[in-house]
Amino acid sequence: MNAPEKAPKKKLRVALFSGNYNYVMDGPVRALNMLVAYLERQGHEVLVFAPTSRKPAFQHSGTLVSVPSVAFPGKRSEYRLGLGLRGGLKRRLKEFSPDIIHIAAPDYTGKSALGYAGKNNIPAVASFHTRFDTYPRYYKMSWLEKHLTNYMRRFYARCEHVYAPSHSMVDELRADEIGRDIRLWTRGVDGALFNPGKRDVGWRRANGIADSDVLVAFVGRLVLEKGIDIFADAFKRAQAKNSSLKALIVGDGPERQAFAELLPGAVFAGYLQGEDLARAYASSDMFFNPSITETFGNVTLEAMASGLPSIGAAAAGSKSLIEDGVTGFVADPCAKGFAEKISFLASDAELRRQLGATARQRSERYCWDAILAELVKHYYEAIENFALSEQKENASRASVRPHVA
């Protein structure tokens, strides 16, 4: 006798809250847009709440509801601070009647979404994208870091699940007691777009890069917390020993001018995407990401898929992707340590080839659809566990009510 087939799970209504969804392209935004597109392909409904700008960086996935916002002060004015859920937004959310609320940033809007979830008995989950609490150390406000970490502990403790993008970040959050139930939501990469076959010698030559040059690539937002000062220092130390080293900087941001002054001989390609970005990766010889604020490192995974050996910090994001001595090297986040790894790789073309080939193979494990399907399973578990907790709490309340004769 055949076992009865399980009834298909109901399609979900997911409300997603993010501090940025389409006005600046970065790793977290790319992951969130991939998630929304996947959910809709699977028949789920999604409503995204996020600040918007007059000039979005790209065409976003799904339905985006604009959250009133103000620009961050100073050099970071490209980012916006959402002003939370108010009348019309609350009505829109109530009409949507979500099964689950997913919060992608612990900002003011995320906090108000968490409050709404609590008041309306809706399970809330959160994805952890950046160690925001480490940012103050780059802006001469280190005293603020411990207070932000404490705030994050309180915030994520109220979520059913916290989704971290790497095993090392899961361990780090557990050690810092950020989140009660921390689960893995890793990232994927488009191996057809990012691959070694996109290498273009003509493009290198057009950018003043000789065939004998060893090109070290950086890809990311040009902001202090990406470690651009350490990149420049480490690169110049290595270049002093090996004049064939050249730097390629892909990206834009408020620190571009300062970065260019630190690396006057570097090629600054600006913001690239799609085929142009894939060509820049594949036309390089190694990838160097000194950041310690990354929780995963999408750019490192793209570099791996492009067949590059990578050098990264011995911190959560890079440690989860780079196998030391196998696909690249990790080092203590200091200029001297990084410079030694750059010099070592620059001196051995065959080692770069071997590490890059292995990196390409490792990158093939990161399939977007399989990764996102796993996240949806977590959604269902969060909803089921939340319902069970509610039943137990209601039963407990009923058992302590005084008996009326």
- Which CATH number covers residue 180? 3.40.50.2000
Tally Cβ neighbours within 10 Å of residue 154: 11
| Angle formed at CA 206 by CA 309 and CA 211, multiple of 5 degrees | 50
Tokens of 382: 């969060």
State whether 62 and 123 are in the same domain. Answer: yes
The answer as to whether 37 is a domain residue is: yes
State whether 134 and 223 are in the same domain. Answer: no
CB-based burial label for 70 (10 Å; 0-12, 13-18, 19+): exposed
The residue that leads in pLDDT, 392 or 295, is 392
Which pLDDT does position 317 carry in this prediction? 66
Over residues 36-93, the pLDDT tens digits come to: 999 999 999 999 999 999 999 999 999 999 999 999 887 677 889 999 998 899 999 9
Tally Cβ neighbours within 10 Å of residue 11: 12
Give the DSSP H or E segment for 25.
none
State whether 183 and 83 are in the same domain. Answer: yes
Over residues 105-140, the pLDDT tens digits come to: 999 999 999 999 999 999 999 999 887 777 777 777
Which pLDDT does position 1 carry in this prediction? 47
Tally Cβ neighbours within 10 Å of residue 386: 20
pLDDT interval class at 6 (50, 70, 90)? low
Roughly how many angstroms between the first and final C-alpha of the chain, as a whole number?
53
The answer as to whether 397 is a domain residue is: no
The answer as to whether 405 is a domain residue is: no
Over residues 255-270, the pLDDT tens digits come to: 999 999 999 999 999 9
pLDDT at 250 over 60: yes
Which pLDDT does position 75 carry in this prediction? 66
What's the rounded mean pLDDT across residues 148-172? 93
Give the DSSP H or E segment for 53.
none
State whether 49 and 156 are in the same domain. Answer: yes
State whether 173 and 206 are in the same domain. Answer: no
The answer as to whether 401 is a domain residue is: no
State whether 92 and 219 are in the same domain. Answer: no
What's the rounded mean pLDDT across residues 311-336? 88
pTM over 0.85: no
State whether 76 and 202 are in the same domain. Answer: no
Residues belonging to the chain: 405
Radius of gyration in angstroms for the set of CA atoms belonging to the chain, rounded to a whole number: 23
What's the rounded mean pLDDT across residues 183-209? 96
The residue that leads in pLDDT, 79 or 202, is 202
For 100, 101, 296, 345, the CA distances from 382, given in Å and listed in that order, are 8, 10, 23, 45
pLDDT interval class at 405 (50, 70, 90)? very low
Distance CA 352, CA 154 (A): 45
State whether 385 and 341 are in the same domain. Answer: no
State whether 29 and 177 are in the same domain. Answer: yes
What's the rounded mean pLDDT across residues 176-197? 95
Who contacts 162 (Cβ-Cβ below 8 Å, separation ≥6)?
A: 125, 126, 127, 128, 156, 173, 178, 179, 180, 181, 182, 183
Which pLDDT does position 5 carry in this prediction? 55
State whether 162 and 288 are in the same domain. Answer: no
Distance CA 331, CA 295 (A): 16
Taking a C-beta distance cutoff of 8 angstroms, is the pair 294, 315 a contact?
yes
Distance CA 175, CA 171 (A): 6
The answer as to whether 395 is a domain residue is: no
Give residue 328's region: left, alpha or beta (phi > 0; psi -120 to 50): left
pLDDT at 3 over 60: no
pLDDT interval class at 216 (50, 70, 90)? very high
Distance CA 258, CA 244 (A): 24
Q: What is the largest CA-CA distance in the chain?
A: 93
In total, how many domains does the chain have?
2
The answer as to whether 400 is a domain residue is: no
Taking a C-beta distance cutoff of 8 angstroms, is the pair 379, 126 a contact?
no
State whether 168 and 203 are in the same domain. Answer: no
pLDDT at 4 over 60: no
The answer as to whether 239 is a domain residue is: yes
Question: Hey, which residues does 268 pair with through a beta bridge?
Answer: 249
DSSP SS3 for 56: coil
Strand order of the β-sheet with 124-127 is 63-66, 45-50, 13-17, 100-103, 124-127, 162-164, 182-184
Which pLDDT does position 370 carry in this prediction? 92
pLDDT at 399 over 70: no
Domain that holds residue 22: 13-187+367-389
Question: Hey, which residues does 248 pair with through a beta bridge?
Answer: 217, 267
State whether 259 and 383 are in the same domain. Answer: no
Block residue for tokens 């689960």: 183
| Mean pLDDT taken over the chain | 92
The answer as to whether 27 is a domain residue is: yes
Taking a C-beta distance cutoff of 8 angstroms, is the pair 65, 89 a contact?
yes
Who contacts 267 (Cβ-Cβ below 8 Å, separation ≥6)?
A: 207, 208, 209, 246, 247, 248, 249
Which pLDDT does position 369 carry in this prediction? 93
Distance CA 332, CA 14 (A): 40
Tokens of 392: 């137990």
pLDDT at 272 over 50: yes
